[in-house]
Structure 1
Amino acid sequence: MPKLWSETIAGHRSAVMDAILDATAELVHRNGVTGLTMTALAEKSGVGRATLYRYVPDVAAALAAWQQREISRHLQRLHAISSQSSDEVRLKNVLIAYARIRSHRHSDDGSLHGAGQLAMAESEVRELLRDIIADDVRGGRARADLSPEELAAYAVGSLSAAGSIATPSAAPRLAALVLGSIQSGSDAESF
C-alpha cells in the first residue's frame, strides 16, 4: 500500500476515533456515565452504528478509550507546566494543576477514576514530582530529611483527596498544604 494511502487511512481512523471520544465526553458531561448509550454516541459522533461498533464494541470500551485519552492529555499538561515553569514555582504549579485534575468530576460513581485505572498515571505523576522535588532539594527549596520518592508519594496520595471534596477552591488549598509540607524544614522528629 502506498505511504500516502496508509497515512490517509490512519488519519481518517484517528479522526473517527476522535469524533467518538469527543462525543463520549460531551454525553458524559451532559447526561452522566449512566446516560451514555451506543445509539446516542453514534448520533452525536456522526458515525453510523456499524462504524461505531468497529471502533468501540460497547459503552464500557468507549468510556475506557475516552478515559485513556483524558489521562494522556492530563499527563502531557503536567509535563508542559513543569517544563514551562521556572524552578522557583515549578513544584507549586504542578501540584496545583494535579490537584485540579484530581478534583474534576464527570458525574460518575467513581468508576472512571478507580485506583486500578489510575495506577500507571499516578506512577508517572510520582516520577515527575520526584524529579522536581529532587531539583528543589538540590536548590535548597525542599526538605532533605525525606527522599524525593517519599515526598512525591505523599503528594500524590494527599492530592487524591481533592477528588472527594466538592468545593472547587479545595484543590489549590490542598496543593498549598502539600507544598508547605514539602518545603518545610527538616526539624520534624524522626521515628
Structure 2
Amino acid sequence: MPKLWNETIEAHRRAVRDAILESTAELAAEHGVRSVTMSQIAEKAGIGRATLYKYFSDVESILLAWHERQITGHLGYLVEVRDQADGTYERLAAVLEAFALVSREFRGHHGTELAALLHRDEQVAHAQQQLHDMVRDLVAEGAQAGEFRDDVAPDELATYCLHALTASGALSSDAAVHRLVEVTFSGLRASGHAQVDRKPTARHEGHSHRPHRPDH
C-alpha cells in the first residue's frame, strides 16, 4: 500500500479517535459519567455505532483513553513551564502554579464524578510519581542553594506541596488559586528570606501572582 495512502488512513483514524474522546468528555461533563451511552457518543462524534465499537468497547475505556491523553499533555506542559523559567526558585514556582491552575481547570470543566472515576486509572499514579519527582528534584536543588529549607527532606516537601495544591480544584477563582500557591510556597522558603515582585507565568499572563522570590 502506498505510503501516502497509509498516512492518510492513519490521519483519518486519529481524527476519528480524537472526535470520540472529545465527544465523550463533553457528554460526561454535561450529563454525568453514568448517563453517557455509546449511541450518544457516536451521534455527537458524527460516526456510526459500528465504527465507534471498532475503536472502543465501552464508555469507560473511552474516558480512560481521553484521560491518558490529558495526562500526557499536562505533564508536557509542566516540563515546558519548568524549562522556560530561569533559576531553581523560578522553575519550582512556575511548576507549582501551573499544576494548581491545571487542577482547578480540570475539576471545573469535568466535575467531581469524572475526577473520581479517573482517579482509579493506573496512569494517574504514574503521572503523580513523575510530577512528584520533578518537584522533589527542584526542592533538593533549591535547598542546596540555600533558597529552600533543608530541615525537611525534599521528598516530604514535594508531597506536602502537591497534596496542598490539589485542593485548588475546589477553589472558585484563579485569584484563590494564586493565594493557595503563595501560602504553600511560603512553607518551602529558607528562614530569613524576604519577598520581592515576580513575573507572571506565560500561560496565564496578566493574571498570575506566582510566589515571591526571596531577596538574598
CA deviation map 1:58-78 (0-9, x unaligned): 111111111111111111111
Check if 1:146 corresponds to 2:147: no
Aligned counterparts, 1:115-154, within 5 A = 117=122, 118-154=124-160
Report the equivalent of 1:53: 53
Which structure has more relative contact order (CA 8 Å, sep 6+)? It is: 1
Contact 1:81 1:90 in 2 (8 A): yes
Identify if the C-alpha distance between structure 1 residues 145 and 116 changes in structure 2 by more than 3 Å, giving closer, same or farther: farther
Report the equivalent of 2:111: 107
Report the equivalent of 2:99: 98
Identify if the C-alpha distance between structure 1 residues 116 and 177 changes in structure 2 by more than 3 Å, giving closer, same or farther: farther
TM-score of the two chains, using structure 1 as the length reference = 0.84
CA deviation map 1:84-112 (0-9, x unaligned): 12224221121111112223311242423
Deviation at 1:3, TM superposition (A): 4.0
Alpha-carbon separation, structure 2, partners of 1:157 and 1:38: 35
User: Any gaps of 5 or more consecutive residues in structure 1?
Assistant: 187-191
Alpha-carbon separation, structure 1, partners of 2:161 and 2:146: 18
Deviation at 1:125, TM superposition (A): 0.6
Aligned counterparts, 1:168-183, within 5 A = 168=173, 169-183=175-189
Bigger CA drift: 53-62 or 4-13?
Answer: 4-13
Alpha-carbon separation, structure 1, partners of 2:38 and 2:112: 17
CA deviation map 1:2-29 (0-9, x unaligned): 5444433332222211111121222233
CA deviation map 1:126-162 (0-9, x unaligned): 0111222223223322112223222112212222222
Counterpart residue type for residue 96 of structure 1? E
Counterpart residue type for residue 187 of structure 2? S
Bigger CA drift: 151-160 or 53-62?
Answer: 151-160
Aligned counterparts, 1:3-22, within 5 A = 3-22=3-22
Considering fraction of residues, name the structure with more helix: 1
Q: State percent identity of aligned pairs.
A: 40
Check if 1:36 corresponds to 2:14: no
User: Any gaps of 5 or more consecutive residues in structure 2?
Assistant: 193-216
Deviation at 1:113, TM superposition (A): 4.2
Equivalences, count: 185
Deviation at 1:57, TM superposition (A): 0.9
SS at match of 2:152: coil
Deviation at 1:115, TM superposition (A): 5.6
Identify if the C-alpha distance between structure 1 residues 160 and 115 changes in structure 2 by more than 3 Å, giving closer, same or farther: farther
